Structure formats: C-alpha cells, structure tokens
Structure 1
Amino acid sequence: MRTSPVWNPEQYGKYADERGRPFADLVDRVFADQPATVVDLGCGPGNLTATLLDRWPSATVRGVDSSAEMIEAAQPLTSDRLTFEVGDLREWTAPPGSVDVIVTNATLQWIPEQLDLLPGFVRALRPGGWLAIQIPGNGDAPSHAILRELAATPPYAEFAAGKSLRADVPGPAEYVDALSAEGCSVDAWETTYNHLLSGDNAVLEWVKGTGARPVLQALPDDLRATFEKEYGARLAEAYPQRSYGTLLPFRRIFAVAHLLAR
C-alpha cells in the first residue's frame, strides 16, 4: 500500500452539501438498469456512496479508499448491501466483466497517470456497464495558484515544494478519446459551480480539507502555523467575504462511459 498524507474526515466534511452536488450530477447521468454490483473508487467517508443504495435498490455497493481514516469514518454506514475497504486505486482490480457500475468522484486528480488506469476499469465492467468519473478542474484557480507559489518559497519550499495538485488534468475531450478507444460511448462535459460558502475565511477551510492537505502536512508544526496564516490572508484577499458569504467558483470535469456490448 502506498503512503499518503492523512485525510481528516471532519475537515473534509465541511461544506458537505457543496461537495456532494457534483456527485449527484454525475450519478444522474448513469442510466444503468438494475445493476447488481456497484463500486465507488475513492469513496471517502462513505456518505455519498450510501446514496447509491437508493439510486439502485437491488445493487450491492462497495466503497474503496486509500485512506484508513476515511474508511474508519465510513464503517458505521456498513450494511448487508454496503461495504467499505482500504485500497489504492492504482492497484485496484476486479475480475473481468464482474462490475455493472464504477463511480470515481473527485479522486483521479491525485493520480498523474490516471488515463492509464481507465482500460483496467473498463475491463472490470460487464457488457453494457457504466464508468462515471468526476474530477476538479480548478488547478489554475487562485486557491491552488497561491498554494503552489507559497509552497515553492523559502522557508516552506524545503518541505512543501511540489506537494500541491498540478494545474493540468484531462479535459472532457481527453476522456472521450481515451474511453472511446476502449469501446465505450462517452458523455463528457464540464461545469463551473459558484459555491456560496459561509464562515470566516471559508475558502481556506475548504482547501484545508482537500487540495492544501498535502502541503500543510508536509510542513513542520512551527512552519505550518505561519504558512496557514499567510496562505489564509492571501486567500481572503482573492476570495473576499461579503455580507451574503464567500463566492467560490469551482470548475469540475465529468465523463460517463457506457461499455457497448462486446
């Protein structure tokens, strides 16, 4: 098992409604008819995975995540139809033709070689199966640009340079090309959500649960506090708090692939 920075389910759970909207929009485009087996790769704390039980009442659902902390948080949701396990997406396999639906939501952006994984995911699908992908496409937004710039400057660079997410991720057209080559019919698109966040320095609280996590955890305790203060001040300037909240534009990329009958 590969090691990675520790996830904090409580911090990640802040703004859960906003984080859940893209998942719902993604699953809404999966037109599977009574699937028997559904897998959520990168399931996190399992709250969104659990919604798949109502989406497909006859299915058994399995959540997989590389974070032991996330899987521990998900375990209270376990039932006879819903299970969770620790596993790395880069090493995940299933018997060919054994899965009806694979969902991977806000996960593949962490894997530079993600397009290389898609053929294996498709092979796991039964004929007529579905693969649904959503990733953030906001790597060039101020929240991430400031993070990369600050992490690359002294005294932080010694520990944190290169720890933040890259700006470049596949776009819809790249998913169409890659998945069409695997015998799939592909629906790919992008959406920019304008999230209205509550609370002080809300964008800092948002990114502490996701994109800023590897940088913050790479820093020693004394530097982490200084970094967070400086990063937070710059975020507050880039995303000013108004009387009605803080606006966070957030681009996301979607691809839904339907495996044609072999």
Structure 2
Amino acid sequence: MPAAAPAWDPGQYLRHAGNRARPFADLLARVPSLPADPPRIADLGCGPGNVTVMLADRWPTARITGYDTSPAMLDRARTEHAGPTPAGGRLDFRHGDARTWTPAEPHDLIISNATLQWVPGHAGRFADWIAGLAPGGTFAFQVPSNFDAPSHRLMRELADSARWKDRLAGALRHGDAVLAPEAYLQRLTALGCTADVWETTYLHLLEGEDPVLDWVKGTGLRPVLTELGDEAEEFLADYRTALREAYPRTAHGTVFPFRRIFAVARKED
C-alpha cells in the first residue's frame, strides 16, 4: 500500500522561514530580465506564500500565481498574501500539482523553490514547462541536495529498522530524489535553453533545543509524522538522540550544513 501524502503544517514550516527563504533569494538574484511587462509568473510549490511575495517585490506589476497541493499551505498563503499588489500586479494562490501542471498561457517565469524533490521524475516535466514559456522566458528552481546528510540518512536508517520498516516502507525519499547538477545542466541545454546550474552549501547556525529536529519536522520528516500519527513520539525519541550526536550543540548554536542545487534556464528568443 503506498504511503499517504504528507500532511503539511505551515506554522512548523515557517519556524525557520528566514533560513528557508535565503536560497530562494539567491536563486531569484540570478533570474534575468523577463520578456513582458507586466510579466506572467508561476510559483510551483508555493507553500505558505512567504517567498512568493518576493516575486512581487522584484516584479511589482506581475500577475503571479502560486500553486500547491496542500490545503493548509494554500489557506495560509491566501489569508496572508493574496490580492492586488501596490503597483497594479496581482498575487493569487491555486491548487496545482507539479506532477501534472502545464501552463495554460505563455509564462515569462516558472519558478520552484524546494519542491521538485517531492516529484518523482520531475525532470521529465521540464519540456512541458519550457514549452509553456514565452520566448526569452525563464525556468528556475532550487532543490535540496543533502539526502546523504546525517539528518536524512539517520531518518531512513531508523525507518528501515525492525520496529518501523513495515509501517514506513516507501515513505521516505532517497538520494535519487534529485539529479546531479551535471544532469540538470544536460537536460536543460538539450531543451534549447541557456542554463546556469550551481551548488551551494549553507551553514545554518540554529538556535534552541534540538533545532535540527525542529527543522526537519517542517519538511523531510512530514511523511513519518503523517504515517505514524500518535505513534510518532516513539520514533522521534530515537531520532532525536541520533541527531544530537550527529549535530552537537556548541556555545554559539548548532551548525546544520545544507547543500542545495540551483538552476536558471533561459529559453531562446
């Protein structure tokens, strides 16, 4: 039986909003000028909308639509961010699944922030999205590249243990959730784009008690929390102990290295 789709918690996700938004800002800084004014923009996997609003800051007149599959995330985004923007643009949020979404009209920018790692075979969608760009438009995304880091490796090892393997079989992602940077570059250039692909490792200095556990509760651990429900505390007790050893607390906080892959692909004019 396939694992249930993760249930998302906007409040938990936003507990580390500043650190989570930084990669999007770095991605956005490399996006070139867009071909139309006002531009048409789609944000795939918009979550609670806290980074989608950064698109309106960059392109104040843009018509921007954020897409997500989580009702809880969309409710938060609509409540806090939807509506007209001061310069005459508009910010909307709709249900949309990156596994099937295709632009219904030409877009100047299709962007995705830390979402495509949840979409098996996502590189197979690139052709449809690039085809949906206006000439000179851009497709840009960033994804985590830390599936071999202790935070994810320890999670998988515990899920594969005798206590949990029957309950959590197939629930967690592995290293093949994303491609190598070179593979993304090859895919995008083969589709006729001028592509810029790079990797960055952030060294987040986290504060508080068990901050790495608090971080992954908002993202990578969601499938476990969804599947186990009230039994999750037993899993968390063992996982917490393992994370404390892997990420020891220092006098200045807990260092959490996080590697990410970025890609910006511009369609030919």
TM-score range, shorter chain: over 0.9
Aligned length: 258
Unmatched tracts of structure 2, length 5 or more: 85-89
* Superposition CA RMSD, Å: 1.4
- Tell me the distance in 1 between the aligned counterparts of 2:141 and 2:95: 20
The answer on 1:120 being equivalent to 2:128 is yes
* Structure-2 residue corresponding to 1:186: 195
Task: Deviation per CA, 1:23-53: give whole Å up to 9, x if none.
Answer: 0000110012445101100000001001111
- Counterpart of 1:47 in 2: which secondary structure? coil
The answer on 1:195 being equivalent to 2:204 is yes
The answer on 1:257 being equivalent to 2:257 is no
Deviation of 1:62 after TM superposition, in Å, equals 0.5
Task: Deviation per CA, 1:144-196: give whole Å up to 9, x if none.
Answer: 00000000112211111221121122122111111111110000000000000
Q: Supply the AA of the counterpart residue of 1:231.
A: Y
Q: Does the CA-based 8 Å contact 1:148-1:162 persist in structure 2? A: no
Q: Supply the AA of the counterpart residue of 1:214.
A: P
- Tell me the distance in 2 between the aligned counterparts of 1:75 and 1:95: 21
- Counterpart of 1:189 in 2: which secondary structure? strand
* Structure-2 residue corresponding to 1:92: 101
* Structure-2 residue corresponding to 1:37: 40
- Tell me the distance in 2 between the aligned counterparts of 1:260 and 1:205: 43
- TM-score normalized by the length of structure 1: 0.95
- Counterpart of 1:163 in 2: which secondary structure? coil
Deviation of 1:57 after TM superposition, in Å, equals 1.4
Deviation of 1:242 after TM superposition, in Å, equals 1.1
The answer on 1:219 being equivalent to 2:228 is yes
* Structure-1 residue corresponding to 2:21: 20
Q: Which of 123, 142, 149 is equivalent to 1:134?
A: 142
- Tell me the distance in 2 between the aligned counterparts of 1:145 and 1:122: 34
Q: Supply the AA of the counterpart residue of 2:67.
A: V
Unmatched tracts of structure 1, length 5 or more: none
- Counterpart of 2:51 in 1: which secondary structure? helix
Task: Deviation per CA, 1:129-148: give whole Å up to 9, x if none.
Answer: 00001000000000000000
Q: Supply the AA of the counterpart residue of 1:59.
A: A
The answer on 1:165 being equivalent to 2:173 is yes
Distance 1:125 1:35, change over 3 A: farther
- Tell me the distance in 2 between the aligned counterparts of 1:257 and 1:219: 39
Deviation of 1:11 after TM superposition, in Å, equals 0.6
* Structure-2 residue corresponding to 1:174: 183
Q: Supply the AA of the counterpart residue of 2:59.
A: W
The answer on 1:46 being equivalent to 2:37 is no
Q: Supply the AA of the counterpart residue of 1:115.
A: A
Q: Supply the AA of the counterpart residue of 1:187.
A: D
Deviation of 1:260 after TM superposition, in Å, equals 0.5
